[in-house]
Amino acid sequence: MRVINVAAAQMGPIQKADSREAVVKRMIALMDQAKARGADLIVYPELALTTFFPRWYMTDQSEVDRWFEREMPNAATMPLFERAALHQIAMNFGYAELTPDGHHFNTSILTDKSARIVGKYRKVHLPGHAEFDAERAFQHLEKRYFEPGDLGFNVWRELDGILGMAICNDRRWPETYRVMGLQGVEMVMIGYNTPSVNAEKSEEGPAKRLFHNRLSVQAGAYQNSTWVVCVAKAGVEDGHPLIGGTLIVNPDGEIVVEAKTEEDELLVHSCDLDATAFGKSTIFNFAQHRRIEHYGLITSR
Ligand code: CDT
C-alpha cells in the first residue's frame, strides 16, 4: 500500500487588518496538530496568507501589490517553512504571486518533506470581472488583479505518488481534473475561497454553494479515480461570509471526511493511493474507452 496521511487545514476568516505574521502563526498551529496526528502532507486554502482581497475594488497598483508576495519563502513565511522541515511534513498553500518581471498570479506551491518547493501551479480559471460592477452585491475582481495561469495542469511525483494542484474555481471545470487524470494523478489538492452567497443571484445561498462544492469535487474524483483534498478559507471576513465545507473525497467519489465549522479546523485521513488503480484500470481506463475523435470541440471553442 502507498499511503499519504493527509491533513486538510481549513482556515477561518482572515481580516483585512491581520498581518501575514499572525496568519502564519495560525498555519503553524494547524501544522503542529497535523504532526501530532502523523500527517505526511498538509493542504491549506487558496490565498492562505491574506484576506480574500479581490472583493475590494482598488485603483492604486501599489495598494494592490501589497497583497502579493515577491518571493517565497519570505521573511513572514520562513517560520512556516522551518516548522515544515522540522516536522518533515510536505505542504501545499496558496498565495498571490508577483513575479520579478511584474506578472500577477493566483498561485499555489507544493513542498517536499524538507520544505523545498518542488511544484508550482498558477490558477487557470479566474472567475469574476475586471471592472467595478455596481449591479453586484459585492465585487469579485480576480480578473482585474490576476493574469490567467501560464503553467498548465502538471503533476508531480512526490510522497511515492502522483500529485496535482488546482485552485478554487478550477474545481468546477471537468477539464481541470481530466488533464491531470490523463497524467495519472492520484491526489489533487485544491484550496478555495467561495462567497456564501452568489453576488449576482441573492437566492443562491450557502446550502446551494456547499452542494455545488461537493458535486464538483466528488465528480472530479470519481471520473478520474483520484483522491481530492479540497480546503476552504471560511467564515466572515470583514462582513463577507465564505463557505466552509472542507472535504476529502476518495477515488469512488465518496466523501471520507468533511469540516463541521467555519473556523481553523484540521481533518486528517489516510489515503491509500493504490485505491486509485481499480477505477483507472476499469471504467475509467482512458486508453481503452475514451473517444477523442469526438472531443475536438472542447479545445476548438
Ligand atoms: N476564489 C474563487 O475562485 N471563488 C469562486 C467564486 C465564484 S463566484 C465569482 C468559486 O468558484 O468558488
Residue with the smallest CA separation from ligand 1 atom 9 is 128
- Residue 59's CB is within 10 A of a number of other CB atoms, namely 8
Provide the mean pLDDT of the chain. 98
pLDDT tens digit sequence for 144-154: 999 999 999 99
ipTM over 0.90: yes
Expressed as residue numbers, the domain containing 292 is: 3-300
Q: Calculate mean pLDDT across residues 280-285.
A: 98
Interhelix angle 206-224/174-181, nearest 10 degrees: 20
Q: What H or E segment, with its residue span, contains residue 286?
A: helix 286-289
Pairwise CA distance, residues 218 & 227, whole Å: 9
Give one DSSP letter per residue of 39-55, joined into a string.
-SEEE--TTTTS--GGG
List all residues 6 or more positions away from 155 whose beta carbon is below 8 Å from its beta carbon: 162, 163, 164, 180, 183, 184, 185
Substitution candidate for ligand 1 out of 56, 124, 171, 192 with most atoms within 8 A of CB = 192
Looking at residue 60, which CATH number applies to its domain? 3.60.110.10
User: For residue 170, which amino acid is it?
Assistant: D
- Which DSSP state fits 147? P
Q: Work out how many domains the chain is built from and give that number.
A: 1
Q: What is the rounded radius of gyration, in angstroms, for the C-alpha atoms of the chain?
A: 18
What CA–CA distance (Å, rounded) separates 185 from 286? 13
123 catalytic per annotation: yes
Do residues 94 and 232 make contact, with C-beta atoms less than 8 angstroms apart? no
CB 28 within 8 A of CB 79: yes
Q: Sorting pLDDT into bands at 50, 70 and 90, what band is 38?
A: very high
What residues does 201 pair with on adjacent strands? 198
Residue 223, SS3 per DSSP: helix
- Give the whole-angstrom CA distance, residue 300 versus residue 245: 35
pLDDT at 13: 98
Pocket probe mutation, ligand 1, options 124, 126, 194, max atoms within 8 Å of Cβ:
194
Average pLDDT over residues 93-100: 99
**Closest CA to ligand 1's atom 1:** 193
The grid coordinates listed for 122 are 498558477
Answer yes or no: 271 catalytic: no
Rounded CA-CA distance 130/144 in Å is 4
Tens of pLDDT, residue by residue over 104-139, are 999 999 999 999 999 999 999 999 999 999 999 999
Residue 65 has what pLDDT?
98
Categorize the per-residue pLDDT at 223 as very low, low, confident or very high, splitting at 50, 70 and 90: very high
Predicted confidence (pLDDT) per residue in 160-175, tens digit: 999 999 999 999 999 9
Predicted confidence at residue 217, as pLDDT, reads 98
